[in-house]
Amino acid sequence: MEEINKNLLRDPADKIDAITDVMWRQVNEESRTLVEEFLEVNSQLSPKTKKQYISCLRQFFWFVYERLNNKPFYKISKRDFMRYMSYMQERGLSSRSVNLRKSSVSSFCNYIENIVSEDVEEYKHFRNFTRGMPPVSRNQVYDKLAISDDEYNLMLKVLEEKQDYLGCAWVATMYNVACRRSELIQLKSEISTYEIPEGQNYVLSNVVRGKGAKMIRYMINFDALKYIKLWLENRGYEHEYIFTTYYDGANKPISTTWGNQFCVHILSPIVKRRINPHAFKASCITHLLDRGVDLKVVSKYIAQHNDTSTTSNFYDLRNFDDEKNDIFKK
Cβ density class 23-54: b for 16+ within 10 Å, e for less: ebeebbeebbebbeebbeeeeeeeeebeebbb
206 vs 10, more confident: 206
What does the pLDDT read at residue 139?
60
| pLDDT at residue 252 tops 60 | yes
Question: What residues have CB less than 8 Å from 280, skipping those under 6 apart?
Answer: 147, 171, 174, 175, 178
Q: What is the pLDDT of residue 193?
A: 96
d(CA 103, CA 215): 22
Residue closest to 208 by CA, chosen among 230, 180, 169, 227 = 180
Residue 148 phi, psi (nearest 5): -80, 165
pLDDT confidence tier of residue 142, bands split at 50, 70 and 90: low
What local confidence, expressed as pLDDT, does residue 12 receive? 54
Q: Where are the alpha helices (DSSP H) in 42-94?
A: 47-67, 78-90
pLDDT 10s digits, 107-121: 999 999 999 999 999
pLDDT at 20: 94
Cβ pair 19, 57 in contact under 8 A: no
pLDDT above 50 for 57: yes
Over 80: is that where the pLDDT of 152 sits? yes
158 or 42: whose pLDDT is higher?
158
Residues 6+ apart with CB under 8 A from 175: 147, 152, 224, 280, 283, 284
Return all residues near 43 (Cβ < 8 A) that are at least 6 apart.
Answer: none
Q: Residue 144: what pLDDT?
A: 79
Alpha-carbon distance of 104 to 128, in angstroms, equals 12
The model's confidence at residue 151, banded by pLDDT at 50, 70 and 90, is: very high
Q: Which domains does the chain have, with CATH numbers?
A: 21-123 (1.10.150), 149-323 (1.10.443.10)
Inform me whether the pLDDT recorded for 89 exceeds 90. no
In this structure, are residues 27 and 71 in contact, taking their beta carbons and an 8 Å threshold?
A: no
What is the mean pLDDT of the segment spanning 155-172?
97
The pLDDT of residue 136: 76
pLDDT for residue 14: 61
pLDDT, position 9: 45
Model confidence pLDDT, tens digit, residues 170-191: 999 999 999 999 999 999 999 9
Supply the pLDDT for residue 134.
82
Sign of CA dihedral 271, 273, 277, 280: negative
pLDDT at 15 over 80: no
Percent of the chain past pLDDT 70, that is, above it, reads 91
- Taking all residues of the chain, what is their mean pLDDT, rounded to a whole number? 90
The pLDDT of residue 240 is above 60: yes
What pLDDT is stored for residue 323 in this prediction? 67
pLDDT of residue 322: 66
Render the burial of 98-137: b for 16+ CB within 10 Å, e for the rest.
bbebbebbbbbbebbbeebbeeeeebeebebbbeeeeebe
> Across-strand partners of 247?
250
pLDDT band at 1 (very low <50, low <70, confident <90, very high): very low
Buried/exposed code over 166-184 (b: 16+ C-beta within 10 A; e: otherwise): bbbbbbbbbbbbbbbbbbb
Residue 102 confidence class, pLDDT cut points 50, 70, 90: very high
Output the pLDDT for position 259: 94
- E strands, the chain, are 202-204, 208-209, 215-216, 219-221, 244-247, 250-253
pLDDT, tens digit, for every residue of 191-232? 999 999 899 999 999 999 998 778 999 999 999 999 999 999
